[in-house]
């Protein structure tokens, strides 16, 4: 509920024709990097997957944030081998012609005591001005 209130300007939801929630992306602008949109969670209902819904939500959210918040970078963290996340963000960065930098943000050894894989920061940008 906090994501839907405090972070509504940087999040997006999709409902079907009956009003059921079928897709959601939460994001926020990191306080120290006001030119970046950090994408936190992406979820699409299992019945609606494989229809580019995640891609269309993410693209729409980025366009909104570009227009209203002047963002130039899109960030997320991905665990290596998460094929769905890697494919989704690769596609969107490619469509935006956004150069991509990958760095380990939280490390398996240093931060997770070997109990969780690395979380790699994918930072794409800068992206240009919003389309007219
Ligand atoms: C991951 C998830 C959001 C994808 O939603 P979706 O609407 O089916 O994705 P899209 O149809 O927009 O696909 C976007 C791209 O990701 C690829 N992709 C989607 N799911 C994939 C999967 N499971 N494995 C590999 N690639 C996948 C698509 O092929 C497409 O790439 P392309 O344009 O190069 O063909 C959805 O499967 C989900 O909610 N999973 C559970 C939650 C989760 O894992 N979230 C984190 C992932 S960002």
Give residue 130's pLDDT: 59
Q: How many domains does the chain have?
A: 1
What average pLDDT does the segment 111-116 reach? 94
With cut-offs at 50, 70 and 90, classify the pLDDT of residue 129.
low
Kindly indicate the confidence band of residue 132, based on its pLDDT and cuts at 50, 70 and 90. low
> What residue numbers bound the domain in which 55 lies?
2-124
pLDDT at 128 over 80: no
Q: At 26, which helix (H) or strand (E)?
A: strand 21-28
Task: For residue 25, tell me if it sits in a domain.
Answer: yes
Distance between CA atoms of residues 52 and 57, nearest Å: 9
Please name the residue whose Cα sits nearest to atom 20 of ligand 1. 84
Q: Is 83 in the pocket of ligand 1 (CB under 6 A)?
A: yes
pLDDT for position 131: 57
Pocket of ligand 1 contains residue 42 by CB under 6 Å: yes
Cβ-based neighbours of 10, under 8 Å, separated by 6 or more: 26, 27, 28, 29, 37, 61, 65, 69
User: Is there a domain that residue 59 lies in?
Assistant: yes
**93: closest CA among 118, 79, 76, 80?**
76
Separation CA 43–CA 24 (nearest Å): 5
Residue 72 lies in a domain: yes
What's the rounded Cα separation, in Å, for the pair 114 and 121? 18
Q: Considering the domain boundaries, does residue 13 fall inside one?
A: yes
Concatenating the DSSP letter of every residue in 73-109 gives EEEEEE-TT-HHHHHHHHHHHHHTT--EEEEEEE-TT
Indicate whether 132 belongs to any domain.
Answer: no
Q: What's 86's domain CATH number?
A: 3.40.630.30
The verdict on residue 131 lying in a domain is no
Average pLDDT, stretch 14-32?
A: 97
Collapsing DSSP to helix, strand or coil, 60 comes out as helix
> Atom 18 in ligand 1: which residue has the minimum CA distance?
84
> Would residue 19 count as lying in a domain?
yes
Average pLDDT (28-53) is 97
> Is 70 exceeded by the pLDDT of residue 83?
yes
Is the CB of residue 14 below 6 angstroms from any atom belonging to ligand 1? no
The pLDDT of residue 4 is 87
């Amino acid at each position: 509920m906090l994501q839907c209130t405090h972070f509504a300007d940087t999040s997006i939801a999709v409902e079907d024709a009956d009003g059921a929630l079928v897709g959601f992306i939460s994001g926020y602008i990191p306080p120290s990097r006001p030119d970046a949109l950090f994408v936190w969670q992406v979820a699409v209902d299992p019945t609606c997957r494989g229809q580019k819904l995640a891609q269309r939500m993410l693209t729409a959210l980025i366009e909104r944030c570009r227009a209203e918040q002047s963002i130039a970078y899109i960030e997320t963290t991905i665990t290596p081998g998460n094929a769905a996340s890697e494919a989704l963000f690769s596609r969107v960065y490619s469509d935006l012609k956004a150069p991509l930098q990958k760095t380990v943000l939280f490390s398996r050894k240093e931060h997770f005591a070997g109990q969780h894989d690395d979380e790699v920061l994918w930072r794409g940008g800068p992206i240009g001005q919003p389309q007219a």
